Amino acid sequence: MKKGYFITFEGADGSGKTTQLNMLKTYLIEQGFDVVTTREPGAMETGKEIRNILLNNETSISEKCEMFLFLADRANHVEMFIEPNLSAGKIILCDRHTDSTIAYQGYGRGRDIKLLKELNDIAVGNIEPDLTLLYDVSAETAMERVGKEKDRMEASGAEFHKRVREGYLELQKENPERIKIINADNSINEVFEDTKKVINKLLQES
């Protein structure tokens, strides 16, 4: 059976990871790979409704509700999209996954990280990314890129986003094999060169 790959894209709001994901999709398709792209939250039909609740700036929700909604979206996404596409041998490029919950709800909001890891495990079962690209960006660059129109998460403040970034770097230290850091302060093309290097290594090794 052809082996699929599950590759996740992580980083702060404004890190430019979505642009890189789309560039990588085109590049891999040109090389003849079978690629699908997706994201959390909000890839599936029900996920779109969950996403609206999570990111809507005009309504407030409790932090616990926020946590469960991200996890509910993930559980549905893994079962309905990730697992079948992996079994079909596709390369899945996924914009955010489990590490976002640890970085944002754990380090950002200050919720219990051990508990969040257990809840993530329940949501994903035995699915783990083959590779995670972490786009690390300075707070200044990130704020410039996000601009003035902020969603509910982006509007959580500078201190919150500083903790999120530190959380991601901590996660990378804990999982150096899976998570590769990419300096996202560089130009789009430089960042893409770094992205390709990491991906080509993964595809050549397997």
Q: Which residues bind ligand TYD (CB under 6 A)?
A: 13, 18, 39-41, 55, 70, 95-96, 100-101, 104-105, 151, 153-154
CA 149 to CA 143: how far, in whole Å?
A: 11
* C-beta of 4 vs 41, nearer to ligand TYD: 41
Minimum distance from residue 28 beta carbon to ligand TYD (Å)? 20
Residue closer to ligand TYD by CB (options 5, 9) is 9
If the CB atoms of residues 91 and 94 are measured against ligand TYD, the closer one turns out to be: 94
Q: What is the closest distance, in whole angstroms, from the C-beta atom of residue 41 to ligand TYD in the complex?
A: 5
Query: How far is it, in rounded angstroms, from Cα 202 to Cα 206?
Result: 6
CB of 71 to ligand TYD, least distance (A): 7
Q: How far is the CB of 31 from ligand TYD (least distance, A)?
A: 25
